[in-house]
Amino acid sequence: MSQTWSNKFRVAVGGLLWALRDQTSFHVHLAFTAAVITLAVLLRLQLWQWIGLVFAIGLVLAAELFNTAMELLVAVLHPEYDPRIGRALDVAAAAVLVSALTAATIGIAILGPELYCWLMQV
């Protein structure tokens, strides 16, 4: 069954909103995202700095969404313990870890010097 583009968009937004509302790991990501955006506004960042931060935020959210999708599928298709399933879930979790470490590096590289300059002025 082929969906219309508007329906594809609608179900994708529905999936995103469900994850943001029902998955506790997304609450942590949202708190970090809110803190980073607040800092970025207060520090009056340049366009390229905003692009870096938005990329970092999107990277983590996308990895977490894929990880959540894997967990949901496993819970339905193979809830019984299987070390191969466990390995697949561990690898998916590793993708979130790698993306989060990358995002943290980008965030520190962009916000660190700006925060330092701001602190030197006050």
Q: Which residues are at the interface with ligand ATP (CB under 6 A)?
A: 23, 25, 71, 74, 78-79, 81-82, 85-86, 89-90, 93
Classify 29 as helix, strand or coil.
helix
For the CB of residue 88, give the shortest distance to ligand ATP in the complex, in Å. Answer: 8
Indicate if 64 belongs to the active site.
yes
Three-point CA angle 111, 114, 120, nearest 5°: 135
For the CB of residue 33, give the shortest distance to ligand ATP in the complex, in Å. Answer: 18
- Catalytic option among 33, 49, 63, 64: 64
Q: Which is nearer to ligand ATP, 31 or 41 (CB)?
A: 31
Taking a C-beta distance cutoff of 8 angstroms, is the pair 56, 106 a contact? yes
Active site residues: 64
